[in-house]
Amino acid sequence: MELTLHVWRQDGPDSPGRMEIYKADDVSSDMSFLEMLDVVNERLLEEGKEPIAFDHDCREGICGTCSLMINGVAHGPEEGTTVCQLHMRKFKDGDSIYIEPWRARAFPILRDLVVDRGAFDRIIEAGGYVSVATGNAPDANTIPVNRDESEMAMDAAACIGCGACVASCPNGSAMLFVAAKVAHLGHLPQGQPERQKRVLAMVEQMDKEGFGYCTNHYECEAVCPKEIPRKFIAEMNRDYLKAGMAAE
């Protein structure tokens, strides 16, 4: 396959960026999208040029590190897939592909296609945990967990924190991420003691980081590689409003 790549290049956080055009002319349809970029980078290195910086780690679709906006869609055209699991057979010979970094004030660009997603870590630090006694592991099944609730918690816990929700949201909102993290603990008995405190603290941190407000476009749900449903956002809205209107 022969492709024309339009790639965002930016030398550092404060440098101005620009779109640059690269020809990729020996792409196999069996390559993953990141392998295609590896090949392009090999050639750039041979030519003595700076390779394109992009985030990647497990390349198995489970770590949440890769993060590319491909033709205006986070993680590209395949549903429920991270960009490392996207294969070139999804594209046609002769295609032009626009590759951009996640764009949000809360995700500053470090270099080229790499953004700093530390805002997500700070939201987790604010309340995305349960406090447990250390020491010996408790016996299994000491706390009964309702099966439906545990399934729901698992659905939410599938979030890998990649940030595609923020990148795809017309408002740069992090609601789907925060909602998933609030829900996966909120649906378990272990998460109940800190439930109110958690949702208040995480939403407060989310606002502080400069993410936008959700206006229910559901673009996040459409691009989420783990297909986290929008209902968790509704749940978080309810949890937050309930906690915020309760007596302290």
Partner 1 sequence: MAARKPRMNRLARTLQSSIGSKFLMSVTGILLLLFVIAHMLGNLQVFAGPDQLNAYAAKLQSLGPLLWVVRLGLLAIFVVHIGAAIRVTNSNRAARPVAYVYPGSVQSTFAGRTMMMSGLIVLAFLIYHVLHFTVGTTNPDHFHLVDETGRHDVYSMVVMGFSQWPIALVYVVANILVGVHISHGASSAFQTLGVTHPRLAFLKQGFGPGIATLIVVGNLSMPLACLFGLVQLPA
- Nearest-approach distance from CB 110 to partner 1, in angstroms: 14
- Nearest-approach distance from CB 72 to partner 1, in angstroms: 2
> What are the angstrom distances between the C-alpha of 218 and each of 59, 101, 114, 157, 234?
26, 20, 25, 19, 12
Distance between CA atoms of 15 and 111, rounded to whole angstroms?
A: 9
> What are the angstrom distances between the C-alpha of 219 and each of 37, 73, 146, 185, 214?
26, 9, 31, 24, 10
Of residues 24 and 70, the one with the C-beta less far from partner 1: 70
Of residues 226 and 230, the one with the C-beta less far from partner 1: 230
Distance between CA atoms of 143 and 132, rounded to whole angstroms?
A: 13
Of residues 28 and 216, the one with the C-beta less far from partner 1: 216
- Nearest-approach distance from CB 213 to partner 1, in angstroms: 4
Of residues 60 and 248, the one with the C-beta less far from partner 1: 248
- Nearest-approach distance from CB 34 to partner 1, in angstroms: 19
Pair type for strands 3-9 and 18-24: antiparallel
* Closest of 96, 83, 78, 91 to residue 29, by C-alpha: 91
- Nearest-approach distance from CB 230 to partner 1, in angstroms: 7
Which residues lie across from 115 on neighbouring strands? 109
Rule CB under 8 A: which residues touch partner 1? 6, 8, 19, 69, 71-73, 98, 100, 103-106, 168, 170-173, 200, 203-204, 206-207, 210-219, 221-223, 230-231, 233-241, 244-245, 247-248
Rounded to 10°, the helix 118-127/195-208 angle is 150
- Nearest-approach distance from CB 243 to partner 1, in angstroms: 8
Rounded to 10°, the helix 175-186/195-208 angle is 170
Of residues 160 and 182, the one with the C-beta less far from partner 1: 182
* Helices (runs of H) and strands (runs of E) counted in the chain: 8, 7
Of residues 66 and 211, the one with the C-beta less far from partner 1: 211
